Amino acid sequence: MKPEYEPKTREQFYGYLIEECGEVLHAAGKTLRWGELSANPEIPVRDRISNAQWLLNELDDLDGAVKRMRQWLYDNEAQFRTFDGVTVTR
């Protein structure tokens, strides 16, 4: 990810995670519907990849979003330690 696109705020971390989840759902749905070896016919032939590769690419992106979200939560853990008067621990 380009540095200028790295999430910086709470909303950006959540937004990035949600966006990547949506992209995985999109790729998984198309793959289930059309098959792993199918490809999007609207993409120029030279740029086409199989649905399986597309799904793998989106899963890699989601993995990055999950890692960033997890790190953000760990870095901000102190503010989430007390819930309803109870101290929460891992």
Separation CA 5–CA 7 (nearest Å)? 6
pLDDT confidence tier of residue 79, bands split at 50, 70 and 90:
confident
Mean pLDDT on 69-85: 80
Please give the sequence-ordered ranges of beta strands (E in DSSP) within the chain, or none if there are none. 82-83, 86-87
- State the pTM of this model: 0.84
The whole-number pLDDT of residue 77 equals 80
CA-closest candidate to residue 54, choices 41, 67, 42, 37: 37
